[in-house]
Structure 1
Amino acid sequence: MTKRDETADVRPQTLAWVSRHLEVGERIIAAEALHGGITAEMRRLTIGTGEGGTRSLVLRTFVDVDNAEDWLDREAGALTLLPGTGVPAPELVAVDPTAAHCEYPSLLMTHLAGLPVLDDGGLETRVNLLARQLVAIHDVRPAERPRDYVALTTADTVVTPEGADAAVWAAAIDVIREPAPPWAGRFLHRDFQPGNVLFDGSSPGAGARITGVVDWAGTSWGPADLDVAHCATNLALLHGPAWGPRFAEAYEEAGGVLAAAASERLYWQVRDALAASEEVQQVSQPWREAGRTDLTTRVVAGRLDAYVTALMGVQRTSTL
């Protein structure tokens, strides 16, 4: 074991399960908690190799989380599918979706270099890279489609921010009371946003590049607009409301295809933005832990209100 032994953080049965999936002569020498996730415990495991070197794996564990088996089955399926597609994703090592061997449902995968970048520097470059990466994800054609997407909110569960214009939010809620527009199916990440994309930390500016896309537990089949709307919402909350529409523009500039009708686009944009209203606290906490201490719950809620107001303003303008 290393001087700083953190393997005690990994539960005993899980530790034994991981060990059974290592190469001959390898052993776990340290574990480090990874921050930024909302639903799962994430740990980077340092593995000592038989030749005296080290490599890293990532352990994802769902503790007392509903639908953990479904989420891990989806992630394992995606990680099995993506090698060879050009989408930089971890490789699956092992999965225990029903906790048959571990204390809780768990997945073991390779570790990718790079880190999420959440600050404002070099944002235009990153937005274009994010857009091109999402187009590549939507171009994946799996032999077996994942399950259809699940909506993350309903008209009755939206939480209107304090101080928001009630009439604007009521109009936005009415948008998602309507049936979903017809859509052409695409392979969706379903949580594609800056926190789940890794960048080469040595090139924050024009030379930046994406080194990986993580967290494939929500993999689904659905409209490209839904993934685009989700990333747009996150960018609006992280960097300001104007970056939501800018991401949609960048996606189309990269060759992506969105719904033809403005009303159809609005439906998906509003649906995702309103879903964020239910979890402002949960969304903003990992961002603050990652260094964006300016993103208090109040600030994020204010940006969400401004973004929804801007979206609905576009609707009013288009109907004049």
Structure 2
Amino acid sequence: MPSSGWWGGTVINHDEVAAVRPLTLAWVSRYLEPGERIAGAEALHGGITAEVRRLTIGTRDGGTRDLVLRTFVDEESAEDWLNREAGALTFLKGTGVPAPELVAVDPAAAHCEYPSLLMTHLAGRTVLDDEGLESRVPLLARQLVSIHALRPPERPRRYVAWTTADTVVVPKDADAAVWEAAIDVIRRPAPPYEGRFLHRDFQPGNVLFDAPPSSPTGPRLTGVVDWAGASWGPADLDVAHCSTNLAVLHGPTWGLRFTGAYEEAGGVLAATAGERQYWQVRDGLALSEEVRQVSQPWREAGRTELTTGAVEKRLEDYVSALLNALD
């Protein structure tokens, strides 16, 4: 499963340039303009599977610009993730979707110490607070609809399911009846679907906003990052994933509301409520396997109340609400 959010203006520590490994420094330098140099580096919060640093580049005229370096230090699937992200960023350039531009990629670590990708830096930051959520949710929905409307010249790899009925991790002290009923839902065959271009990890931790809003009319969505999971599959998968994250970040009601927001923005989901439930429950159960990993970056970003236990409780309440929606 891709990392759950790693971008934004929040910095957890300040790295010296020397913290970037020597071979990687030399590799990055190849892609700078004449007279430019790496002047600084800062670690960005939230990474689970990769180290992510914002590099400050000193320009010839005395100014600066920023690049982002993503490095997979200990990830068996790094080459696949980086190849998919590089392909997605190349395709997205010029589509109108606010994604970073690819600068360079070394997926097999032929030049760097570890598999790495270099890209442009986008303005804005992740916003995980409850305040202002009412105005951000429609922006999330509209952006996701526009992503699903894209038609890449070469279809990306088919989506990979992140859990199965036999591998679901049931939280400690969970309501056994709720989890058994939810697992039964995903024992059914996957519903038929019309394929779409998917981000596959679209959720608040991978979306940037101008914060505070630069306009009196409200926030503006400035970027979508972390395209390593770009896939082909049902739009319901992306919608379900964002819904699950909204549910555990802000409460189950927000997870339920996102589906409606997506449809109000013009998105088309599975034809029946039962088919939509299948994808929603599947994503909720998938998150149960990584509650500890995803809740830690949220706490580092300021949501200190989102302990592992609190997230597990919200997740169970959300899954229960999904099951009850068809009763």
Q: Do the two structures share a fold, i.e. TM-score over 0.5?
A: yes
Residue 192 of structure 1 aligns with which residue? 202
Amino acid at match of 2:298: W
Rounded to whole Å, the distance in 2 between the matches of 1:255 and 1:280 is 31
8 Å Cα contact 1:273-1:308 kept in structure 2: yes
- Structure 1 stretches lacking a partner, 5+ long: none
Greater shift, 218-227 or 205-214, is seen at: 205-214
Rounded to whole Å, the distance in 1 between the matches of 2:302 and 2:295 is 11
SS at match of 1:187: strand
Q: After superposition, what is the alpha-carbon deviation per residue over 1:99-134, rounded to whole angstroms, capped at 9, x for unaligned?
A: 000000000000000000000011111000000000
Residue of 156, 162, 165 corresponding to 1:152: 162
TM-score by length of 1: 0.96
Rounded to whole Å, the distance in 2 between the matches of 1:267 and 1:298 is 25
8 Å Cα contact 2:125-2:210 kept in structure 1: yes
Amino acid at match of 1:122: G
8 Å Cα contact 1:198-1:212 kept in structure 2: yes
Residue of 259, 276, 295 corresponding to 1:284: 295
Rounded to whole Å, the distance in 1 between the matches of 2:168 and 2:261 is 28
Alignment of 1:135-174 (within 5 A): 135-174=145-184
1:253 aligns with 2:264: yes
1:38 aligns with 2:48: yes
Residue 64 of structure 1 aligns with which residue? 74
Residue 209 of structure 1 aligns with which residue? 220
Q: Aligned-pair RMSD on alpha carbons?
A: 1.1
Residue 97 of structure 1 aligns with which residue? 107
1:78 Cα offset (Å): 0.7
Percent identity over paired residues: 77
1:202 Cα offset (Å): 2.7
Could you list the structure 1 runs, at least 4 aligned residues long, displaced by more than 6 angstroms after superposition: none
SS at match of 2:318: helix
Rounded to whole Å, the distance in 1 between the matches of 2:47 and 2:190 is 29
Residue 237 of structure 1 aligns with which residue? 248
TM-score by length of 2: 0.94
Q: After superposition, what is the alpha-carbon deviation per residue over 1:25-51, rounded to whole angstroms, capped at 9, x for unaligned?
A: 100010100011211100000000011
SS at match of 1:100: coil
Residue 182 of structure 1 aligns with which residue? 192
- Structure 2 stretches lacking a partner, 5+ long: 1-13
Rounded to whole Å, the distance in 1 between the matches of 2:76 and 2:257 is 35
Residue 74 of structure 1 aligns with which residue? 84
1:164 Cα offset (Å): 2.3
Rounded to whole Å, the distance in 1 between the matches of 2:257 and 2:47 is 26
Amino acid at match of 1:46: T
Closer, same or farther in 2 for the Cα pair 1:305/1:206, shift >3 Å? farther
SS at match of 1:164: coil
8 Å Cα contact 2:15-2:42 kept in structure 1: no
1:64 Cα offset (Å): 1.5
Q: After superposition, what is the alpha-carbon deviation per residue over 1:29-78, rounded to whole angstroms, capped at 9, x for unaligned?
A: 10100011211100000000011110000000001101111100000001
Q: How many residues align structurally?
A: 313
1:206 Cα offset (Å): 4.4
Residue 4 of structure 2 aligns with which residue? none
Alignment of 1:104-115 (within 5 A): 104-115=114-125
